Structure 1
Amino acid sequence: MLRKLPGDEVRTLVSTTPDTAVVFRPAVMQTPAVITILVMVGRFITGLIRTIVAHPIATTALVAPSVIWIRYGWPVAVAAVTVPCSMLVGWAVAGRESFARWVGWRLLAFWRRLWVYRRHWQPVMIITGLGRHIRGRDYLPRLVRVTCDGWADRITVKMLAGQAVKDWADRADHLAHGFGAPACRVAIARAGRLVLTFPRRDPLASPLSAVPIPETASVGPVEIGRCEDGTTYKLKVHGTHVLIAGATGSGKGSWLWSTIRGLLPAMRAGLVQIWALDPKRMELSFGRPLFGSHYAADPKECADLLDEAVKVMQERAGRFAGLQRSHVPTTADPFILVIVDEVAFLTAYQADKQLRQRITAALATLTTQGRTVGIGVMAALQDPRKEVMTIRNLFPDKIALRLDESEQVDMVLGDGARDRGALADHISPVPELGAGVGYVRLETSPDPVRVRAAYVSDADIRAMVAEFAGVGR
């Protein structure tokens, strides 16, 4: 039995029935209409001031014609609108990039802030659980800023007190669908503030041609392809180790050959040596003349080559001890990049247990001690499970191409990478759309970056061999 008692009458109630529920209904005070109106006017004025401060140019462009019309008449107002618009059109035609940077993207951000995000902010926040509706009042995260560029919207949000980044990362899919975007990525701006990235289109949907061979000799960073925002992506190979994981046909060869292509001038100058381990005898064997004697395909030859690399590392460590803490490539001590295609074939699927232990021990030694003396390892594999690649955590920089399962993303890039937007399991299996596309997580940053490596064709490799054969002495 339920009884509703107003005010303090509940104090006088005495019940002997154990299952009797007493519901206390507090007295309701009516707020005077004047106060309600003042509160609404105050909120309107506050919102208007915030809009003017956040978008001074846009608000001026909207208000100025009306003011001129009132004071000077409609002919002057029409002229005041026509002349600037004509100048803007000429600017947009003559200097499209500068116009977009200074005017176009700002206007788009102003429009999308009002029409897309501000309009749907309250229902999306409440339904996703990131906002709260308590006693008739909404407690919502604050939409601070919206910026746009050629491919995405970036929203700066001030979280509610007590919220964590994981609360937003767990609801990334809900946010994306709530605002009509294909995906949502969450990044930390500073304490209490996040940046939500909502892509509007995919700049990496088309394959990229091979990057031109550099004119100058350099050990990197090596230009690999293009980032999602349209900027050039350069991969650091000197002073680190790189692990590339992806399913069959995901484009691992594009990353390997783009790296080799970018290091060819340095190989010719004697500043770089590439030692290639190709147990499949398919990928790297196509450019075998580039590696000279530092090529191995048979598992025993691969183990011998890795042992030789360990000896070079230990010899350099003995000479560098007490003299230098970092490696500077020279012709006497060149940077050595050990490239292993399908490393799992050597570390997990090798039938010879003794040979498997030799290879695993050599790779572990190189990845723990090699980079300070100028020896790096770039390894590619299909299956990122721990039992397949026991030393995957020894690679500071990791790249996840198309993967079969969502759990594999965190196996490769680390815990929480998929929640931050690294949807490697959603990359298209169609080669024209997804080959070479991957998410990069560097040692220096927890946020994954979406990149597409350029495709190095068979003709490109033949041209590389014809021009640079014999540089890997």
Structure 2
Amino acid sequence: MAWEFRKLRPGDNVAVEAQRDPFAPPKWAPPVWHMPEGLVLIVNAVRVLVRTVAFLARHIVPVTVLSGLGWLGYRFGWPVLAVVLALVLQGLSVWALVDNPSFVRWVARPAQSRWRLIAVYRRHWQPVLVTAGLTKVHKGREYLPSLVRVRSGATSDRVLVKMLKGQAPEAWERVAVNLAHGFGATLVRVRDGDRPGRIWLEFVRRDALAVPIPALPVPDPSEVDLSGLEIGRAEDGSPWRLRLLGTHVLIAGATGAGKGSVIWSTIRALLPLLLGGLVEVWAIDPKRMELSFGRALFERYGRYSDDPKGGMVELLEAAAEDMNARAERFAGVTRSFTPSHEHPFRVIVVDELAFLTAYCPDRDLRKRAESALAVLTSQGRSVGYCVIGAQQDARKEVNNLRNLFPDRIALRLDEDEQVDMVLGDGARDRGALADQISSVPEIGAGVGFVRLETTPDPVRVRAAYVSDDDIRDMVALGLPDLDIKGAA
């Protein structure tokens, strides 16, 4: 019997052709099992019941309120319902007028969060994530990250997201711009969540730091906390508190970025303890311009002159020697520092830090200054010494001591690479866009990002602007008999 091989044509019986070909692979099809219609109805009914219970549990408060109002209207009629609603609205209005902070916390913010969850994020969640490439399709089924919770603030929203299995936060950081445009935000930052597999998305709706902040009032002595001095405002509207006790602070920013605002706001917050003798400020001012207005407030003041050794380097060496003497006295006696009149808390403010570590023309003076700074920053925290260093150049070769500053502030920088140089690796990917801060003084001066020793996430802040008149008032407050013009 002769076998005939030919190309199949439309209408040919495939099974017959396969039987004629001894080399054809066997054809296998899984058995088809037809579910009984009654079982299908039971399964669908159970699904509807589970989803209904989940919806009621998730929206227990609004469901309970609406159910109660509906029963009230059905039982007593709509006039009673209208009176009850009027009384409730009146009560809420009185609450908002009498204690607005608690009203915002317990009523306004939760209501706003619920509204934005439904009207903004849940409504656009799937199309935005599909377009951004954050979903996965497996065997014809689409897997979508879960929207867990939304917390709305005055200027931003925090959205808690449960990522897909095997997904990393870096995947969300790469499409942050897509998410911002998709949900109508100006900026999106990715933060670690409350547990592995979850992240927080910070959607910034408007810039709360676009307007300059005037100098803050001088606090009462009892309100001064060296572990959290109020010197400005954070992006979420809360006070920006800078810690000095037990740390050192590095401030980096281009010319006109507002380094003086951070320094003078800090000194202003310290003023009550400074005048009381519990805090001393030793200032080093190579430019002879930034700190000279308040030199009457400083315990010691050094500036660049014809003899830079006497003005600045010896001041640093004196601070290092005194710090070592204090450490020797405290050894074996105490492990924590408390300011006193005998041992005040000393803040060493160094403006233009790079001048002492890189630009000073005398090589010997550079080495001596760097050695003294290394001693102060490596050993001074535990005995009541804090170094605040400000510089323009963020390069490592300019300041190789920056790793000894636990807390760092990046104001406006010229290049994106400088952000990680100042705040540490990965800071820009986490949202510290210091290179995109506006160079217009009214918009960007004093605006920056803070990265603390205790957390890797940078926070956007703005320091209050302390004018020359404010500094003169500070000097007059502490030294009323002093000739202010002569001091300036």
Q: Which residue of 2 aligns with 1:286?
A: 293
Q: Which residue of 2 aligns with 1:131?
A: 135
Q: Which residue of 2 aligns with 1:60?
A: 64
Amino acid of the structure 1 residue aligned with 2:339:
P
Query: RMSD of the TM alignment (CA)?
Result: 3.1
For the residues of structure 1 that align with 2:232 and 2:277, how far apart are their CA atoms? 25
1:163 is matched with which residue: 153, 156, 167? 167
Quote how far apart the aligned CAs of 1:75 are: 4.8
Amino acid of the structure 1 residue aligned with 2:288:
R
Contact 1:219 1:266 in 2 (8 A): no
Describe the shift of the 1:13–1:108 C-alpha distance in structure 2 as closer, same or farther (beyond 3 A): farther
For the residues of structure 1 that align with 2:90 and 2:32, how far apart are their CA atoms? 59
Q: Which residue of 1 aligns with 2:397?
A: 387
For the residues of structure 2 that align with 1:231 and 1:259, how far apart are their CA atoms? 17
1:261 is matched with which residue: 252, 262, 268? 268
Contact 2:279 2:344 in 1 (8 A): yes
TM (normalized to structure 1)? 0.87
For the residues of structure 2 that align with 1:375 and 1:321, how far apart are their CA atoms? 15
Describe the shift of the 1:331–1:93 C-alpha distance in structure 2 as closer, same or farther (beyond 3 A): closer
Contact 1:219 1:335 in 2 (8 A): no
Q: Which residue of 2 aligns with 1:364?
A: 374
1:224 has 2:225 as partner: no
Describe the shift of the 1:104–1:42 C-alpha distance in structure 2 as closer, same or farther (beyond 3 A): farther
Amino acid of the structure 2 residue aligned with 1:354:
D
1:197 has 2:202 as partner: yes
Contact 2:259 2:446 in 1 (8 A): yes
Quote how far apart the aligned CAs of 1:101 are: 2.2
Work out the percentage of aligned pairs sharing the same amino acid: 52
Describe the shift of the 1:65–1:270 C-alpha distance in structure 2 as closer, same or farther (beyond 3 A): closer
Quote how far apart the aligned CAs of 1:456 are: 0.7
1:273 has 2:280 as partner: yes
SS at match of 1:294: strand
Q: Which structure has the greater CA radius of gyration?
A: 2
Amino acid of the structure 2 residue aligned with 1:265:
P
For the residues of structure 1 that align with 2:182 and 2:170, how far apart are their CA atoms? 18
SS at match of 1:422: coil
Residue pairs, 1:139-154, within 5 angstroms: 139-154=143-158
Contact 2:313 2:365 in 1 (8 A): yes
Structure 1: gaps (5+ residues): 1-5, 16-21
Q: Which residue of 2 aligns with 1:214?
A: 219
Quote how far apart the aligned CAs of 1:74 are: 4.8
Which deviations, in whole Å up to 9, do the C-alpha atoms of 1:101-154 show, x marking residues without a partner?
A: 222222222221112111111122222232212222121221111121222211
For the residues of structure 1 that align with 2:362 and 2:73, how far apart are their CA atoms? 88
Quote how far apart the aligned CAs of 1:267 are: 2.0
For the residues of structure 2 that align with 1:126 and 1:33, how far apart are their CA atoms? 36
Which deviations, in whole Å up to 9, do the C-alpha atoms of 1:385-430 show, x marking residues without a partner?
A: 1112111111000111112222222211112222222222222222
Which deviations, in whole Å up to 9, do the C-alpha atoms of 1:334-372 show, x marking residues without a partner?
A: 211110111112212222222212112211121111111
Amino acid of the structure 2 residue aligned with 1:284:
L
For the residues of structure 1 that align with 2:48 and 2:358, how far apart are their CA atoms? 66
Contact 1:422 1:448 in 2 (8 A): yes
Quote how far apart the aligned CAs of 1:280 are: 0.9
277-286 or 352-361, larger mean C-alpha shift: 352-361
Contact 1:172 1:419 in 2 (8 A): no
1:419 has 2:424 as partner: no
Quote how far apart the aligned CAs of 1:219 are: 6.1
Contact 1:58 1:110 in 2 (8 A): no
Quote how far apart the aligned CAs of 1:89 are: 4.4
For the residues of structure 1 that align with 2:332 and 2:33, how far apart are their CA atoms? 80
Q: Which residue of 2 aligns with 1:436?
A: 446
Quote how far apart the aligned CAs of 1:65 are: 4.5
1:115 has 2:127 as partner: no
For the residues of structure 2 that align with 1:282 and 1:31, how far apart are their CA atoms? 88
Quote how far apart the aligned CAs of 1:201 are: 2.2
Amino acid of the structure 2 residue aligned with 1:199:
V
SS at match of 1:421: coil
Quote how far apart the aligned CAs of 1:174 are: 2.2
For the residues of structure 2 that align with 1:398 and 1:13, how far apart are their CA atoms? 78
Contact 1:275 1:336 in 2 (8 A): yes
SS at match of 2:221: coil
TM (normalized to structure 2)? 0.84
Contact 1:219 1:272 in 2 (8 A): no
For the residues of structure 1 that align with 2:339 and 2:29, how far apart are their CA atoms? 79
Describe the shift of the 1:259–1:87 C-alpha distance in structure 2 as closer, same or farther (beyond 3 A): closer
SS at match of 1:190: coil
Amino acid of the structure 1 residue aligned with 2:277:
G
1:100 has 2:104 as partner: yes
Describe the shift of the 1:349–1:40 C-alpha distance in structure 2 as closer, same or farther (beyond 3 A): farther
Describe the shift of the 1:137–1:258 C-alpha distance in structure 2 as closer, same or farther (beyond 3 A): same
SS at match of 2:187: coil
For the residues of structure 2 that align with 1:360 and 1:38, how far apart are their CA atoms? 79
Amino acid of the structure 1 residue aligned with 2:111:
L
Quote how far apart the aligned CAs of 1:166 are: 2.4
Q: Which residue of 2 aligns with 1:3?
A: none
Quote how far apart the aligned CAs of 1:231 are: 2.0
Structure 2: gaps (5+ residues): 1-13, 483-488
1:310 has 2:320 as partner: yes
For the residues of structure 1 that align with 2:399 and 2:86, how far apart are their CA atoms? 66
SS at match of 2:328: helix
Quote how far apart the aligned CAs of 1:26 are: 8.8
1:355 is matched with which residue: 357, 362, 365? 365
Q: Which residue of 2 aligns with 1:19?
A: none
SS at match of 1:348: helix
Amino acid of the structure 2 residue aligned with 1:205:
A
Count of matched residue pairs? 457
For the residues of structure 2 that align with 1:29 and 1:309, how far apart are their CA atoms? 87
SS at match of 1:106: helix
SS at match of 2:462: strand
Q: Which residue of 1 aligns with 2:184?
A: 180
Describe the shift of the 1:31–1:459 C-alpha distance in structure 2 as closer, same or farther (beyond 3 A): farther
Q: Which residue of 1 aligns with 2:4?
A: none
Describe the shift of the 1:441–1:38 C-alpha distance in structure 2 as closer, same or farther (beyond 3 A): farther
Quote how far apart the aligned CAs of 1:57 are: 2.2
Which deviations, in whole Å up to 9, do the C-alpha atoms of 1:32-81 show, x marking residues without a partner?
A: 79688877766665554444323322333445545555666555555554
Q: Which residue of 2 aligns with 1:341?
A: 351
Which deviations, in whole Å up to 9, do the C-alpha atoms of 1:211-251 show, x marking residues without a partner?
A: 22222165613221122222222211121100011111111
SS at match of 1:364: helix
Q: Which residue of 2 aligns with 1:326?
A: 336
For the residues of structure 2 that align with 1:393 and 1:29, how far apart are their CA atoms? 68
Amino acid of the structure 2 residue aligned with 1:165:
P
